[in-house]
A and B are shown apart, each in its own frame.
Chain A
C-alpha cells in the first residue's frame, strides 16, 4: 500500500531529514514509526501526505507514484488518506460536528450523506453526544478523538498519525491506540509515528525505527 524506495529528503536549508529510506507497508497492515525527535518521523508522514516532496527516491501509495501527482491533483489525493496530529488541528470556532464534517464538505458530499457519516464517525469514537459542543469544551483525549473521527469520516484506505498520544496519559493513550487498531481491523492501512515505546511494546504491531534519517531496525512483534 505504501512503498518507499531509497527515499531522501533534504530541506532547502540543507538539513537532510531522510536518507535512503526504503520500506513497504502492505495493504491492511498497521505499523509504528519510532525514533528520537528529529529522526525524520514527521517528515516521512509529510511525504506520504504530499505536504512535502521527496528530494530523491520513489514513493508509491496505492499503486500511485507520488512524484507524478501534480499540485492541482494533491487535494484529491489527500482525500484518500486520513491524518491525525498531536495538536489535533481542530477549528475552535466550529462545533465538533462541523469539525468532522469539513473533511467531507471539501469533497462536495451532499449534506444528508455528510450528517449520516459524521454521526457514524463520532459514534465510533464515542463522542456522538457532544456533536454540538466546540473543541474548547472537550478534554485533550476527546479532542484527539474528534481529530480521529475527522481523519476516518471519508473512509480512507490509509490512516496516518503523528504522535497522536503525545499529550495524553497512559490510559487515554491506550484508548486511542485501541481506536486505531479497530480501524486496522476493518482493513485500513495504519501508520503511527510515536515515541511512546512503552505503549507500543504492549501492542502486536510492526515497528519501523528511524535514526537520523535512516531506518535502523525493523522488528515485527508477534501477536501475543
Chain B
C-alpha cells in the first residue's frame, strides 16, 4: 500500500485503456454462462418458449419455400389449349395453327390430331378398356398455343382467349395456367402471412425475453448497486445482461431448429403420400444451411434487442444507496 500516497493522490475521471476491453467481455460472458449452469431447468424452459415462438414462422417459411420450389418446376410460359370445331378437317386445322402464329402475342402453335389426343388420353388415365366401347373419338382436333413472353400475363392471356373465341374455327379455349396463377396468389398470401406472423412473434419474443431479463436484473439489484459503487460503468454493468439476452436468443434458435427438424420428419411421410395422390414426385425438403443460420441470427438479434431495451429501462434506475 506504500505507493498509494505518491501514485494515487491525484483524483481524476480518467478512462481505462482499451486493451482490457476483450478481457471484460470474456469475463461477462463466462459469468453469464456460469449463472445459467446453476439453474439449467429455468434456462432451458426460457429457451423452449423462445424456440416455439420462432418455430411457427420457421415452419411456415419452410412449407412456403417448398411450395415455391414446386412452382418453379412448372414451365413458366403460359399455354392455352384451343379446341377446334368438329367440322374442321385435320389439314385445315394444321393450316389454321400456322395462321395463329401470326397473331401478336402467340409464340407458337402446335396442331394435335384428335387420334393422337385420344392415344395420350388413354395412356395417361389408363382407360383403354372403357374407351374401346366408344364408337368414335369424342375428342376434337386441338392446337396448343404458347404465348410469347410479352403476352405472358393473366390479363393478356384472357384478352387473347376472348379474341380467339370469336373465330368460327374455334369451339373452346382452355387457359392452362389458371391454377398455377392461383397457386401463385396463395403463395404470395402465405408469404405475406409468414412475415406478419414472424413480426408479431418477434415482438412476443422481445416482450418475453425483456421480462425475463428484467427479472434477472431485479434479482441482481444488490450486485448492480455494488458494481456501480465501486466504479462500474453502465456498459460494464449491462454487459452480462446483454449476453444473457443473446444466450436465450441463440438457445431459442437452436430449440426451434431441433423442433422444426422433428416436425418436418413427422410430416414428411403424410405429405409425400398426399402429393403422390396428385401424381407428383414432390418431396419435402427440410432446413438448409442458409435458413438455419438465419434462424440463429434472428434469435441472436431478438435476444440482444430484448436485453438492450430491458437494460436501458431498468439498470439506470438502480443506484447505490
Interface residues of A (CB under 8 A from B): 1, 27-28, 49, 51, 61-64, 69, 73, 75-81, 83, 89-91, 102-103, 105-111, 120, 124, 150, 152, 154-158, 182-183, 186-188
Which one of A27, A76, A89, A187 lies within 8 Å of B225 (CB-CB)?
A89
A178 vs chain B, min Cβ distance (A): 14
Judging by beta carbons under 8 Å apart, are A108 and B4 in contact?
A: no
| B33 vs chain A, min Cβ distance (A) | 15
Most chain B CB atoms below 10 A, which of A63, A64, A78, A111: A78
Asked whether any CB of chain A lies closer than 8 Å to the CB of B11, the reply is yes
Q: Which residue of B lies closest to A188 (CB)?
A: B4
A155, B7: Cβ atoms closer than 8 Å: yes
Given contacts A51-B319, A51-B320, contact A188 B5 (CB under 8 A): yes
Which residues in B have some Cβ–Cβ distance to A below 8 Å? Answer: 1-17, 19-21, 23-24, 27, 222-223, 225-234, 236, 319-321
* A-B Cβ contacts below 8 A, count: 121
**A27, chain B: closest CB distance, angstroms:** 6
- Contact (Cβ within 8 A) A186 B230: no
* Contact residue among A80, A90, A108 (Cβ-Cβ distance under 8 Å from B17): A108
A89–B229 CB distance below 8 A = yes
B239 to chain A, nearest CB (A): 11
Partner of A157, one of B9, B226, B228: B9
Q: Are A107 and B11 in contact (CB under 8 A)?
A: no
Q: B13 and A89: CB pair below 8 A?
A: no
Q: Tell me, rounded to whole Å, the shortest Cβ–Cβ distance linking B129 to chain A.
A: 83
Cα distance, A138 to B264, chains bound together (Å):
56
Bound CA span A52–B21, Å: 29
Is B5 a contact of A186 with CB atoms below 8 Å?
yes
CB pair B10–A62 under 8 Å, yes or no, is yes
Contact partner of A76 among B1, B15, B319, B321, CB < 8 A? Answer: B15
Are A76 and B14 touching (Cβ within 8 A)? yes
Known: A89-B222, A91-B222, A109-B20. A187 touches B6 (CB 8 A): yes
B229 adjacent to A78 (CB under 8 Å): yes
A-B contact pairs, 14 of them (CB 8 A): A62-B12, A64-B11, A76-B12, A83-B229, A90-B226, A91-B222, A103-B230, A106-B231, A106-B233, A108-B16, A108-B23, A111-B23, A186-B1, A186-B5
